[in-house]
Structure 1
Amino acid sequence: MTETVVVLGAGYAGAGAIMSLEDALGEDTDLVWVSDNDYHLVLHESHRCIRDPSVQEDVTIPIESIKSPSTRFIQGEVTGLDCDDREVSLADGSTVAYDYALVTLGSQTAYYGIDGLEEHSLTLKSLDDAFEIHDQVKEAAREATADEPAQVVIGGAGLSGIQTAGEIAEFRDMHHAPIDITLVEALEEIFPGNDPELQGALRKRLLERDIEISTDDPITEADAEEIHFQSEESLAHDVFVWTGGITGRDAMGDASLENEHNRVNADATFETSDDRVFALGDSAIVDQPDGPCPPTAQAAWQAAEVAGGNVARALHGQPLSEWTHEDKGTVVSIGDAAVAHDVVGVPINTFGGPAAEVLKKGIAARWIRDVGGTARAAQAWSDL
């Protein structure tokens, strides 16, 4: 009897898992891939579209270029998962039956109950989000003057916030646009939880790009014109981008799976509280020896191969493999510049300059090559 394996999501975890499953499953298995979009977005490079929307051609890879002809693709928004009936619900009212499901739906922006934050901010979780930031920054700059520059504020100084600020600075400088950029962070330092040496290197390069940094003052409220802080200070904005945190997708809210804020709990084999459902990537909290796996593209790439193999092993009644995340280092872009830290095989702990810039490009190009082919990676190189 043919069994059906369904993969939900086309991010790093989903695309990687599909390739792993295609290698591991036999012809007697029906492999189904479900995603909102008919392309895979290289999300950690999507901020490049803030500067130049045409970069979308380099950071999107069609699903048909990734999957094999035997894998069925269904484009649709996942709205629910019924573990009892083993069905996935889609926004159009249809359902997809499964014997095993692999949840890689990614995440959505967390607003932490801050009054007005969702209504008055932009996010960077999709290609359309990047286009919207571009359009609003461009419009604000058009209406600004040297005496009254446009005020662009980025809330949250993690990876997305820093890279967003860097791309807006590139746009400003390319077009000689009157724009002031402020990066705000609730905690004491940018890139919270990371090595102080890396934090310092990033701060230095942000300041060199005329990006103002404000830390240690949480946002308490936002409205159409101002952002208000715990210190009772306020900051005017023409464009406000919020990148301050993630939570799980609403589709997992009613699934009978153990979860935290809709991010599904999974152990090191990617099994969830239902032995027919596996989860990884941003949509999951994957148990690791030193705490939960970080919700990064690097971790999703690594995990996908093992997760796909484990679904195949479960289907065949074989023992599952445990996965351990290996941190291979961090590379962050600030516009065309980059900072690298603790990179495996590199004797220098933290460095910038051309070496870091080439490394950042190389990481993105390698992923594009793996899922889309060498020619596509070569074509994208100049825009990464």
Structure 2
Amino acid sequence: MTTRVVVLGAGYAGAGAIAGLESELGPDAELVWVADTDYHLVLHEAHRVIRDPGVQEKITIPVEDIKSRTTEFIEDSVTDIDTDERSVSLADGDDVAYDYLVVGIGSETATYGIEGMAEHPLTLKSLDDAMEIHEQVREAAQDATRDDPANVVIGGAGLSGIQSAGEVAEFRDRHNAPIDVTLVEALPEIFPPGDSEIQGALRHRLEDAGVTILTDDPITAASEDAIEFDERDSLDYDVFVWTGGVTGPSELSDVEMDAEHNRLQASSTLQADDERVFAVGDCSMISQGNDDVAPPTAQAAWQAADVVARNVARAMEGRPLETWTYEDQGTLVSVGETAIAHDVEMSGIAAPIRTFGNMPAKVLKKGAAARWIAKITSWSRAMKAWDAL
């Protein structure tokens, strides 16, 4: 009897799971891949599109270049998951039945209930998002003057916020555009997950790039042309990009969710509360013991995707499942044309310097993206994307 395994999502988790499952599953398994785009986006490089839309062809990979001919692909949006009936409802097509389900449909940008935050800012979760940011920055610059520059505000100084601010500054410099760039963070320092060493290095790079940094004061409301703070005066903007926080997508209504973050809860085996459902990527909160969960990062999704493929195969065979523990292999952050590397490990060996930048960091960051592209396609494809990374 054929066992049907359905994978949801074409992000890092979904694409990685497909690559792994095609190797792990036997001839009696049927593999179905469902996603709302017919390509995989190398999302941690999507900020490059803000500066240059021409790079999109290098960082988008058609699903046909990832999957084998035997894997069925359905381009559609998931609207619901019914774990009792073991079926996935789609926006336009028929329900898709499954025996085992891998949920990797990513996340949405959390608004934390801030007034106007759901309506007014742009976000960076897709290729279309990146293109829209580029267009709005370009149009704002065209309408601005040296005496009255365009104000581009980036809310949230995590990885996406820092990289987006760097790309807007790079666009400004390359086009000699009248743009002021401001990066806003509610917490006392930028890049809150990091320690003082990488925070200081990133702040230095951003300030060198002409980015104004405002920290230690949360945004309390957003309108169509200004943001308000708890303490400081309101800040007018022409373009506002919000990158703060992660929350789960609404499609997961029938599975157990974390009440605070609206993300699917999973054990260290990547199983959800239903033993036929596995969760990977940003849509999930994967237990790491001691109330810790894996971070919602590309690096974590890459690692978990390998394990989920093996565990689906083990579950089908009635074998014990592997547990997964996230391994932090360091941080690589772009700031325009430069980059910062921190606590990086290569093949299990730590770099001799904890924090460094310039060309060595830039090459490492390019290399990380290239290795991912090679993993799901080929090194030939990865090398063609090198200049855009």
**TM-score normalised to the size of structure 1?**
0.98
In the aligned structure 2, how far is the partner of 1:295 from the partner of 1:283? 8
Deviations 1:338-362 (A, max 9, x none): 0000011201011111100111111
CA distance in 2, matches of 1:24, 1:69: 16
Work out whether residues 65 and 372 of structure 1, in 8 Å CA contact, stay in contact via their aligned partners in 2: yes
Aligned to 1:38: 38
Aligned 8 A contact 1:13 1:301 in 2: yes
- Distance (Å, rounded) in 2 between the aligned partners of 1:198 and 1:256: 38
- Name the counterpart of 1:122: 122
SS of equivalent to 1:89: strand
Aligned partner of residue 385 in structure 2, secondary structure: helix
Counterpart Cα distance in 2 of 1:232 and 1:211 = 18
Residues 258, 272 of structure 1: 8 Å contact kept:
no
Listed as ranges, the matches of 1:310-321 within 5 Å are 310-321=311-322
Return the alpha-carbon distance in structure 2 between the equivalents of residues 149 and 370 of structure 1.
44
Classify the secondary structure of the residue corresponding to 2:301.
helix
1:381 and 2:386 correspond: yes
Q: 2:355 and 2:255 mapped to 1: Cα distance?
A: 44
Partner residue in 1 for 2:26: 26
* Separation of aligned partners in 2, 1:144 and 1:205: 25
Deviation of 1:202 after TM superposition, in Å, equals 0.1
Deviation string 1:249-307 (CA, Å, 9 cap, x unpaired) is 1101x213243433110011001100110101101000013510001000111111111
**Structure 1: segments with no counterpart, 5+ residues:** none
CA distance in 2, matches of 1:15, 1:281: 11
Q: 225-234 vs 157-166, which deviates more?
A: 225-234
Aligned equivalents of 1:19 and 1:142: distance in 2? 44
Residue in 1 that maps onto 2:297: 296
1:97 aligns with 2:102: no
Q: CA deviation at 1:377?
A: 1.1
C-alpha contact (below 8 Å) 1:81/1:89 kept by paired residues: yes
What is the 5 A alignment of 1:12-91? 12-91=12-91
* Aligned: 1:325 with 2:326: yes
Within a 5 Å distance, the mapping from 1:1-384 to structure 2 comes to 1-92=1-92, 94-252=94-252, 254-260=253-259, 261-289=261-289, 291-344=292-345, 345-384=350-389
Deviation at 1:232?
4.7
Contact map agreement 1:156 1:243 (CA 8 A) in 2? yes
Aligned 8 A contact 2:116 2:221 in 1 = yes
Query: Residue deviations 1:107-141, cap 9 Å, x none?
Result: 01111111111211000000000000000000000
Deviating beyond 4 angstroms after TM superposition, the runs of 4 or more aligned structure 1 residues are none
- Paired with 2:255 and 2:101, the residues of 1 have a C-alpha distance of 14
SS of 1:365's equivalent in the other structure is helix
What TM-score do the two structures reach when normalised by structure 2?
Answer: 0.97
Q: Distance in 1 between matches of 2:11 and 2:119?
A: 26
8 Å contact from structure 2 (residues 221, 228) kept in 1: yes
Q: CA deviation at 1:374?
A: 1.6
- 1:322-378 per-residue CA deviation (whole Å, 9 max, x = no partner) reads 111110000000011100000112010111111001111111111111112122211
- Superposed CA RMSD: 0.9
Contact 1:258 1:273 (C-alpha < 8 Å) held by counterparts: no
Letter in 1 for 2:338: A
Amino acid at match of 1:300: A
Shift of residue 93 of structure 1? 5.1
Gaps of 5+ in 2: none
Secondary structure, counterpart of 2:293 in structure 1: coil
Tell me which amino acid in the other structure corresponds to 1:350. T
2:217, 2:232 within 8 Å by CA — same for their partners in 1?
no
Task: State, as a whole percentage, how many aligned pairs show the same letter.
Answer: 62
Contact 1:10–1:35, Cα closer than 8 Å, also in 2: yes
Aligned residues: 383
Q: Distance in 1 between matches of 2:366 and 2:114?
A: 36
